Amino acid sequence: MGCYTKIKTGNTKELGKNNRGWIIGPYKDDFLKTAPFEVKAILKKKGVCEETTVSNTNVSTMAILAYGKFKLTFNNKELFLENNGDYVFFNPCGHHSVIYLEDSYVITFRWKN
């Protein structure tokens, strides 16, 4: 007698390939569609640099380093995530940049405030 009605397996890289790595959220059209939060799982190669300007002040973000090393810059303040399990929490507003100092796998959660 089982109560599990939805069991699915897969790979996060495949789930996020059409959504910039985001695997759960309101933009999905399958069993991973949800409005309260979003999840991103992404592998980035050493040397990749990204700059982002976020205008939505109604969300909070937490990124957790699974492995690798990267540097974030918020308003000229540099932060390094370099140990498995290191995280950064922030309320996006404005500009931030990321430089991947090693091949890195990062899991990011975003939710409405």
Q: Give the pLDDT confidence of 4-40 residue by residue, as tens digits.
A: 556 566 777 787 787 778 888 887 777 777 888 889 9
Say if 2 falls within a structural domain.
Answer: no
Say if 30 falls within a structural domain.
Answer: yes
Rounded Cα distance between 41 and 55, Å, is 22
Specify the long-range contacts of residues 53-56, CB closer than 8 Å, at least 24 apart: 53/94, 53/95, 54/92, 54/93, 54/94, 54/95, 54/96, 55/93, 56/92
Rounded Cα distance between 61 and 89, Å, is 6
62-96 pLDDT, tens per residue? 899 999 999 999 888 899 999 999 999 888 667 88
Residue 103 belongs to domain spanning: 12-112
Say if 5 falls within a structural domain.
Answer: no
Say if 3 falls within a structural domain.
Answer: no
Helix ranges (H only) for 20-59 are none
Look up residue 72 and give its two tokens.
């974030």
Q: Is the pLDDT of residue 43 over 80?
A: yes
Q: How many domains is the chain partitioned into structurally?
A: 1
CATH number of the domain bearing residue 98:
2.60.120.10
pTM of the model as a whole: 0.80
